[in-house]
């Protein structure tokens, strides 16, 4: 059972999807049960915690963001780097609490993960691409701010955008930002939009992919994930942009995000980020090379192009 905050956000996304169901075939007949479907916890790979204990806090001077980072920053930047990941929640939920376990696992491997947070007294809304861009802006400013525990420690030249479902739509839009070196798109993608019938939610047209300038990770569930075909279409449409596509057997649209620590999908996220932003070849072996971990994993169907 998903947490109530997730169901509320997903319900909002479902209403938007239903509004264009007949006009946009990939989202026709989507039900709440389809959105909630996830990989059973029993027998699934557990989230792998990194070397760092983490802490979470509202972003200084930006109460609409929550920051998850290593609690002890002594290793940065002398022994390790501290890249930034702007995260978009499923359903474009403004409250990141439901994804906190996932974010904590990723941050424990030496990242500043920035999600959105509701502001007390502010009108209720969903997150948008400007929220993710503002997260990158905050990291750049915080790295320079006197009195910040993160001053001089953030690797501002190594930034990524990632997101799930509706949040994945946002990560694709933010991927055009020159600061973003790579994006992670979970259970999401792009479609060929009809300009005369635009959708009432922030999915991008396939033409948006031409604006990307870094490797793209596309990961989804298998046949029980209604976004599988959209995700694969997105991968096939990348052209010369390097990419990795992975479909996890048995995982639906909610995948493993609500397993303890974000489960297997958290491992995929931090491994990709460690490879792309830290140059960690051991982490990269999950996606490429003779020992490609997911390529040899019978639970996954994968494809890759342009990756070194």
**Which of 1.20.5.50, 1.10.357.10, 1.10.1530.10, 3.40.50.1820 would CATH assign to domain 4-41+53-305?**
3.40.50.1820
Cβ–Cβ under 8 Å, residues 97 and 68? no
Which mean pLDDT values do the consecutive 10-residue runs of the chain (308 residues) have?
39 41 51 86 96 98 97 97 97 95 98 97 94 98 98 98 96 97 97 79 88 97 94 96 97 96 98 98 96 96 94
- Residues 190-234 have pLDDT tens digits of 998 887 777 766 788 999 999 999 999 999 999 999 999 999 999
Cβ–Cβ under 8 Å, residues 154 and 1? no
Structure tokens that stand for 276 in this block = 């792309």
Cβ–Cβ under 8 Å, residues 139 and 65? no
For residue 294, give Cα distances in angstroms to 72, 201, 225, 283, 285. Answer: 32, 32, 19, 11, 9
Mean pLDDT of the chain: 90
Does pTM top 0.85 for this prediction? yes
Residue among 153, 157, 49, 171 at smallest CA distance from 105: 49
> What whole-number distance in Å separates Cα of residue 245 and Cα of residue 139?
29
- Residues 220-273 have pLDDT tens digits of 999 999 999 999 999 999 999 999 999 999 999 999 999 999 999 999 999 999
> What whole-number distance in Å separates Cα of residue 67 and Cα of residue 54?
10
């Amino acid at each position: 059972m998903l947490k109530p905050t997730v169901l509320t956000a997903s319900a909002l996304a479902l209403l938007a999807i239903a509004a264009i169901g007949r006009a946009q075939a990939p989202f026709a007949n989507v039900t709440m049960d389809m959105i909630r479907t996830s990989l059973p916890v029993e027998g699934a790979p557990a989230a792998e915690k990194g070397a760092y204990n983490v802490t979470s806090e509202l972003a200084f001077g930006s109460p609409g963001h929550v920051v998850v980072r290593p609690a002890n920053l002594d290793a940065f930047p002398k022994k390790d780097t501290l890249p930034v990941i702007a995260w978009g929640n499923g359903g474009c939920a403004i409250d990141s609490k439901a994804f906190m376990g996932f974010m904590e696992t990723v941050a424990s491997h030496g990242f500043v993960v920035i999600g959105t947070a509701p502001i007390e007294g502010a009108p209720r809304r969903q997150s948008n691409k400007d929220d993710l861009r503002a997260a990158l802006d905050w990291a750049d400013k915080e790295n320079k701010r006197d009195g910040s525990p993160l001053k001089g420690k953030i690797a501002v030249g190594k930034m990524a955008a990632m997101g799930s479902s509706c949040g994945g739509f946002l990560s694709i839009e933010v991927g055009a930002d020159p600061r973003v070196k790579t994006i992670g798109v979970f259970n999401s993608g792009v479609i060929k939009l009809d300009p005369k019938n635009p959708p009432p939610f922030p999915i991008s047209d396939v033409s948006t992919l031409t604006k990307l300038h870094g490797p793209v990770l596309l990961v989804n569930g298998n046949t029980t994930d209604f976004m599988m075909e959209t995700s694969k279409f997105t991968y096939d449409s990348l052209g010369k942009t390097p990419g990795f596509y992975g479909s996890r057997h048995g995982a639906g649209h909610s995948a493993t995000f609500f397993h303890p620590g974000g489960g297997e999908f958290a491992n995929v996220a931090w491994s990709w980020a460690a490879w792309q932003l830290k140059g960690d070849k051991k982490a990269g072996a999950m996606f490429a090379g003779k020992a490609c971990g997911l390529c040899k994993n019978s639970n996954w169907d994968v494809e890759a192009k342009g990756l070194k």
